[in-house]
Amino acid sequence: MTRLGSAPPSPSARAATPSGRPASALPAIDPIRLLRQNWKLLVVVGGSSLVVGAAIFLTLLFAYPRFSGEVVFELPPVVSGTEDLMPVESRNEDIVIRMAQTESQRLVSREVLTRAMRGRDVETTDWSQWFRDGAGMFVVDDAVDDLIEDLRSGHVRDTLYFRLSWTAGNGGDVPVVLNRIADTYMEMKDAEESSRFASDLRLLRDREKEIDRQLVLLSNDIATFIASKNITALDENLDQGRSAIQNLGLRINETKSMLSLLQAKRNQTQAKMQGTLEPSSDDRRLAESDPEIMRLSTDVRDMRIREAAARERFGPNHPEVQAFAQMARSAEAERTSAIDERIQRNLTADFKETTDQIESYEGLLKNLDEEYEVQETRLKALAADMAELEGKQSRKERLETERTDVGRQIGELEQFRRRESARKVTIAQRSTTPREMAFPKWYVVVPLTVLAGLAGTVGLLFVREMLDQRIKYPSDLASLPGGRVLGVIPERTDDPTSPARAELVVREQPSSVLAESFRQTATAIQRQIDDAGVRTIMVVGALPESGTSTIASNLAASLVAGGRSVLLVDANFRRPRLGEILGQSPGHPGLGDLLVGAGRREDAIIDCGGGLHLLPAGSEVNRVVERLNTGTMSALLEDLAQRHDVVVIDVAPWVVAGDAAALAAKVDAVVLAVRAWQEQRGLVARLVGQLSGSKAAFLGVVLNRPRNTAGGYFRKNFEAMANYASPRAT
């Protein structure tokens, strides 16, 4: 018998192992499926809510009628000046919104409402009767408190309007109260504007008087200053001083430039005298022009001429030629020494002359600087006097300009006050008596009641679904770690072909939906066992009634139909069913007898025909559960796996018996059967984890008997499968 545990797991086997992530605390909810399952309940709730909504509407109609009204105010465009004939809107949207919100809050302030409620027309309303004291007097403060809670005010979006709205039980009270509040607000607004205009005008007139006083004082000050400073002569002296200081500046710059040149020349001469700088060609030519040097140069030429004549006459080696050459060299050396001496004398004379010139220019520069400082000080004093005079005159001009502006502002303010368009707020629409009730409205109350009823019901359904931890649909299994779904076996009643029984339906009614579902499940299992070389498969359930016997028998029948030799082994010693399903007598020898050595394999295995064989549980006395976890069982399974292509084993539920846990270490692969609407998610998740960690390969889960008729997604598929499987009419 081939063991998956002895070799690296195949891709299919690896896919079946848990991912290691924790199971989700809440199941995944399919809202469409949930609503389809409970559509009858929703219809009943909707009808009941409709009746309740109608009753609520009638009750509110007589017990709590409400009438609404509003007053609309406008923020007119701003008048920029008295010369503008028409107002022009220059404010941006943010400014308009802030102004509207500010005025809306002021409109419902306690000060405005208190003054408005003192109007006699308010006391005639039915609404005022709610705020009477024991003596029948109208209590203004109580009415204002109620209005502060009920009044609504705010800006009308994208407009220059803001509004005030109110709701009352009597339609005739609405315009009385709202219009009284609006009139009171406008009266207070006008009084505020008048007070502000008067305050601004008073400030402007006070400023006008102050400017006139300052102009008189400043004019007297200017006249006195002109007389004391002799302003006419001051102008001439200022021009002469500027010209003189300009000339001095030019002379100072020229002197500094000459001084710089002389200093550079002296430094150069000194460097030549010290030998750090070679004499220039001009220095050498000047020295050579000296009469003594010129005489020596003549002697050198004569000696060279005599030397040349002697060489021509006697040859180069004659003593007379050598004597003339020696005399020429001596004359040349004397001439060179005389030139150097003359250059030094010339440089010394130049250095002294340059030094004398520098001292002369430095004295001149000192005298010019002193004279410049005197002229500059005098010029600064003259300029200060002129600047002071100009400052006084400039201040006078500014005061005169300000005086003109203030006079113009006073005139514009008085004219602006008389214009109607200068008002910042106007009433655009007064409140009128409502023609219909604002509340209740049947088309609001009834639908809302129905919606609330349906929403509450749906919410309860979702809460119940979230709290229900049972496995109900394939998506519940898919959300578990390692919960690979091999197939879904529907309820027998959901099969349109109405098979007589689910057991062996693959053989008895192969065209049924149940049979096709088992075949699809078998195909998924067969693909995995072929890849991994699996020979023994255990089908186990978590709890009783999981349908393991039905799944095992139909899985075996499907594999047999594919041409395989399949042995069905009934290892459920507590409640064996495979023998009953295949029509065998209960006392036939079987697995229990083989494990205790009370029979032969050939006698125990029943040939059911077509390649399907059955090894029943055996006689009741020999069905010893402990024998399943022995070496004899392991050897028997090895032997059976060699004689058949596939061995399918049905065992007792995992939770109620330990048989499955013992056999899980002896088979090649395990398939878990889960009964929908019965087993809890936590239990299945724990069982999947245990099977995934066992020696046998965990192939996946078969979901048995989900409820598909009431809102499932498989019903149309079932009908299509049944129609396709039925013979086509010719």
Can you tell me the mean pLDDT for 502-518?
Answer: 85
State the pLDDT at residue 13.
37
Q: Are 524 and 487 in contact (CB under 8 A)?
A: yes
The residue that leads in pLDDT, 276 or 184, is 184
Residues 6 or more apart whose CB falls under 8 angstroms from that of 141 comprise 114
pLDDT tens readout for residues 435-493: 888 888 888 989 999 999 999 999 998 887 777 777 777 877 777 777 788 888 888 87
Could you tell me the pLDDT band of residue 725, with boundaries at 50, 70 and 90?
A: low
Least confident of 14-18, 68-72, 270-274: 14-18
Percent of the chain with pLDDT over 70: 89
The residue that leads in pLDDT, 81 or 123, is 123
Q: Which amino acid is at 20?
A: G
Can you tell me the mean pLDDT for 537-546?
Answer: 89
pLDDT tens readout for residues 368-407: 888 888 888 877 877 787 788 888 889 989 999 998 998 8
Asked if the bond preceding 440 is cis, omega within 30° of 0, the reply is: yes
State the pLDDT at residue 233.
55
CA nearest neighbour of 685 among 47, 21, 5: 21
CA nearest neighbour of 127 among 178, 164, 168: 168
Could you tell me the pLDDT band of residue 638, with boundaries at 50, 70 and 90?
A: very high
State the pLDDT at residue 231.
64
Hey, what are 14's tokens? Answer: 């690896």
What are the two backbone dihedrals, phi and then psi, of residue 113, each rounded to the nearest 5 degrees? -65, -40
Torsion over CA: 683, 689, 690, 696 (sign): positive
Judge whether residue 166 has pLDDT over 70: yes
Hey, what are 396's tokens? Answer: 């006078």
CA nearest neighbour of 647 among 656, 657, 637: 637
| CA pair distance 49, 61, nearest whole angstrom | 18
Give me the sheet containing 697-704, strands edge to edge.
485-489, 697-704, 669-675, 536-541, 646-650, 566-570, 612-615, 606-609
Q: Are 522 and 559 in contact (CB under 8 A)?
A: yes
Residue 674 neighbours by CB distance under 10 Å: 26
pLDDT tens readout for residues 93-107: 899 899 999 999 999
State the pLDDT at residue 315.
81
What are the two backbone dihedrals, phi and then psi, of residue 447, each rounded to the nearest 5 degrees? -60, -35
Looking at every residue in the chain, the average pLDDT score rounds to: 83
Judge whether residue 197 has pLDDT over 70: yes
Hey, what are 555's tokens? Answer: 């899985």
State the pLDDT at residue 52.
93
> Where do the H-state alpha helices sit in 275-318?
281-288, 291-314
Q: Which amino acid is at 411?
A: G
Could you tell me the pLDDT band of residue 659, with boundaries at 50, 70 and 90?
A: confident
